[in-house]
Structures are given as structure tokens and as C-alpha cells.
Chain A
Amino acid sequence: MLTNRSKVVVKKEMNFWERIYLPAIVGGTIITIKHLFRRKATVRFPEVKREISAVWRGQHVLKRDEHGAERCTACGLCAVACPAEAITMTAAERKKGEEHLYREEKYATVYEINMLRCIFCGLCEEACPKEAIFLTDRIESTDYSRNAFIYGKDKLVEAVDKRIDVTKRQTPAVLEFKKHKLLSHNR
């Protein structure tokens, strides 16, 4: 009686029409039939795709710079920012002659995101100081085993000839920051 919202249940005896249940059954069927002619809430996914926002947070991409070198330097900030602890990485030192592959002297040899753990919050993207990781409007593919959802660099890094457009996800702050050519990593 703390909230004063309790109700006393009255169980009155049913009359004849209620006891034969037929009107209730007919009423239920009418509702069912009505729903058949309504607009459907679902779409037939692979053939039909639902419209999504331009800044949809879907499958990640590891970007390359304008020369095709990987931007990620395995600094670990995405991994430490990740609330689901989905990201792991191993770093290595760039050797001579690999300058066209990796932008900085350190790079990630292994970079894995567990897509089953990922909650697509976008904090990794926000933490990234190198503009390397972005969430894209792609929907990740399905699979049968759990291991297949641990995406490695083969799935995350964009192909040199098939760049993925992330301009819509670049915030005004990032674009403003990029204008400062004096900051060493913007050179």
C-alpha cells in the first residue's frame, strides 16, 4: 500500500455470450486479418536494404593515407578507450624499405576487433590520434563460427584500389585540426 495504486481484482461470473467464447475468437481473428493488410515492419534483408543514416556506425575500416600507407601506428588508444574491450593489437617496428606500406615508424602487425564484443559506440574512432580507424555505413557480414567474427587486418584495412569513403564521419573538429599543417603529423 506504499504507492496507493493497488487495485482490488473483481472476479465476476461470465454471462452466456462470454461463456461460449465465440465473439472473442471472432474478434481475435479480425485483428489477425487486419494485420495481414498492414505495412510490414520488416524488410527482406539481403535483397532489400533499409535506409540508414549517413553517419551510421557499422563495420570498422582502417584507413590508408593518400600514398597508400597504413595510418595506424598501434598506439593502443582505441583499445584502451573501447568499453567492450574488443580491440587487441601487436606492434612492430617498420623496417627500411617499408615506408610505402606504413606511415609511421611503428605499425600494427596484428590488429583484431572482436565483432561479437563490439557495441559500435564509436569511441575507438574518437580516440584515434591518427585518423586511422573509422566506423562505416557497411553492415558486417554474417557467419557460422564465433572465430570468424574476430576481424583481422585482412578484413579491416581498406584495399589500396578500393578506398572507403569516410568523409561523412569526419567531424568539423577533425577537419579543422587537419588544416594545421604545422603539427608534425599533419605534414
Chain B
Amino acid sequence: MAKLTIDGIEVEVPDGTTILNAARQIGGKIVPPAMCYYSSLKETGGKCRVCLVKVAQGSAKDPRPMPKLVASCRTPVADGMVVQNITSPDVLEARKGVVEMLLINHPLDCPICDQAGECDLQNLSYEHGLSTSRYEFERRTFEKIDIGDKIKLHMTRCILCYRCVFVANQLTKERVHGVLDRGDRAEISTYIQKAVDNDFSGNMIDVCPVGALTDRTFRFKSRVWFTKPMDAHRNCSKCSGKVVLWMKGDDVLRVTGRKDQHGEVKEFICNECRFEHKNINDWTVEGPRHIDHHSVISQNHYEKIDLIKLKKEVERQLEFQSGKKHLTEGNGLTQTDNHENNQG
């Protein structure tokens, strides 16, 4: 076990954990953003550089700081490490630079893009980026192509995070697409159009942090914030069958995997579940999926108020208030204070 401090908060994690995962254990605002790291895919990370953090103290044994900002998704923790993320102006400045670089070739076509509203790059640039670009040269553009009959590749939007390549490597038998060329010419491609065709290829859409890989069956159907996400499942021989249905009225417009709070799918779903069951009767709907209120998707107010839960909460508070009165009448404020802390 290693004990480290991230932005002044102490946390104890097993040896070999990365700084990013240690920060995720704490949660909240100090978690560095990640565009290429994906917890449920091996070997990801280290490419996009948005998760850069400052290591002010390497370890308890060797307290020297690390000479440069490090990618938190690839740096393992050490006992006594002191990490600065949002408390360091250097990190914020560097992150701003990284976002600006990611946006050099990224088109400003969010009004058209199907990913808008659930796009990591959109969130990131909103938080860290500039509203203007200093880049004056011709941006690189590509023709949109269909890779597989259900997936659209819009290479112009790609930020080369390699996530989709890892999906193909780790979830499917053989990978038929990859990154061609190097440097500023690098691009995701299949060489032959419509070549991606296997059972788990659809997960490329879910892992794509931007709108480079999008669902052709959902193309321009609706903006995500007008659809209602519902947790649902079905018996599937190929995958867990646990999905999110994105619905408008009773129509299932899109099926995706379930993303956690970091926007990462833990249980990948097969193409049959994703593309071929757009009928509500094929699914057992569990209920509305909770979406963080910071997301524009929560604008839809699809979640009904749980009256039983609300009643319980009111009862709990009433009980607490009467208990508090009782306690103050009795012997001590200390107990009341504890009680209040538990509430917070």
C-alpha cells in the first residue's frame, strides 16, 4: 500500500496504482480529465496528455520533485508522493495548451455532430480551452467514410486517442483498422471501406471521446439531450446485455453501453444488442438512468421524482430535527455536531 497526497487530500492505494486511479478513488473536482485512458481497456493512456499533473514530491524516500509534468494515467504512485492537479497553476496552464493543440484540427461542427452533448472534448474545451484559435493554417480535413455498415468515421474530428484500436485488439478476434501514417498525417483507417464487421466493433462508438466514430443508425435522428436514457437489459448469448436505451417517446433511437461517472463503459455490448434491437419490447426496462446534472442531457427532466424516496427523506429529516431537539435538551452539543456532519 502507498499513501499519497493529491491536492492536499490523503489517500491510500495499492502499489502499482496510477495517480489517475488514485485521484478517481477520491473523486470530485481533483480527478484529472482523460481523453485516451480507458479503465476497461488494457494499455490505454499516455497519448492525449490532458491528464498531466505535477509531482511535487516523488516519494518519501526520494522527496525530489519530478522534473516535468507527468501523465497521471501512466505514472504509478509511490509512498509519500505529493501530487498537485488543480492546485498547481502550471498544470492548468499546460492543460490549456494541450486542449488548444487538440482543437487545432478539430472542426467546430458541434451543431452537426451527433456526439455533441456527451463529448469529452466539448466538456474539456469548455472548461480549459480558449474561445478563439491562434492557428492560421489550413486545417486537415478528410472525407467521411463508412467503416462497416453501422459505423460512420469522420476522421476530421479524430484526436488519435487509439481507444478504438484497443477495442478492436482486445474485444474482437482480428483488428482490421488502425492508425496509418505518422505525425500530423496520422489517421484512423481501414484502407478498404466498410471492412469493419464483427460482433463487438460497435464499441468503437462508445469509446470514442469525440464524434469521429458515430452510430449510423442514430445519425442525425435526434440531439442527445432530447432523448431519455433508460437502463435496460435482455438475455444475450454474446454479451451481458446490459445497455442504455436512448428513447424519444416509445421509440428506441439508440442503444449504448452503460458509461460510469468517468464516461467509461465497463461491460461492452455486442453489435446485435446495439444495432438490431430498436424495439422497446425486446428489452426489460429497469428505469431512468441517472445523468449528472452538469450534463446537458439532464435538461430533459426525464427522471421522475421518486415519491417513496422523497417521503423517506422527509421522515428522516423530521426524525433528525426532533432528535436534535432532544439532544440539545439533553447533554451535549458535540453529539449534535456529529449528527450534522453525517448529514453533510
Binding site for B on A (CB under 8 A): 73-77, 79-80, 91-93, 104-106, 129-130, 180, 182-185
Contacts and interface: CB of A to CB of B under 8 A. Distances in A.
Contact of B109 (A79, A91, A184): A184
A180 B132 contact: yes
Interface string B201-241: 00000000000000000011111011000000000000000
Main secondary structure of the interface of B (DSSP, over half): loop
B296 A80 contact: yes
Contacts of A91: 220-222
A182 B110 CA distance: 16
A93 B220 contact: yes
Interface in B103-140: 107-112, 116, 132-133, 135-136, 139
A183 B135 CA distance: 10
B226 A79 contact: yes
Interface string B305-324: 00000000000000000000
A93 B132 contact: no
For chain A, what secondary structure do more than half of its interface residues adopt (helix, strand, loop), or is it mixed? loop
B299 interface: yes
A182 B299 contact: no
Contacts of B111: 73, 75, 77, 104, 106, 129-130
Q: Interface size class for chain B? A: 20 to 34
Nearest to A186: B108
A145 B223 CA distance: 31
Contacts of A74: 220
Interface of B: 107-112, 116, 132-133, 135-136, 139, 219-223, 225-226, 296, 299
Given A75-B112, A184-B108, 16 more contacts: A75-B116, A76-B226, A79-B226, A80-B223, A80-B296, A93-B220, A104-B109, A104-B111, A105-B112, A106-B112, A130-B111, A182-B135, A184-B107, A184-B109, A184-B139, A185-B108
A184 B111 CA distance: 13
B108 to A, nearest CB: 6
A39 B222 CA distance: 54
A53 to B, nearest CB: 30
Contacts of A93: 219-220
A101 to B, nearest CB: 16
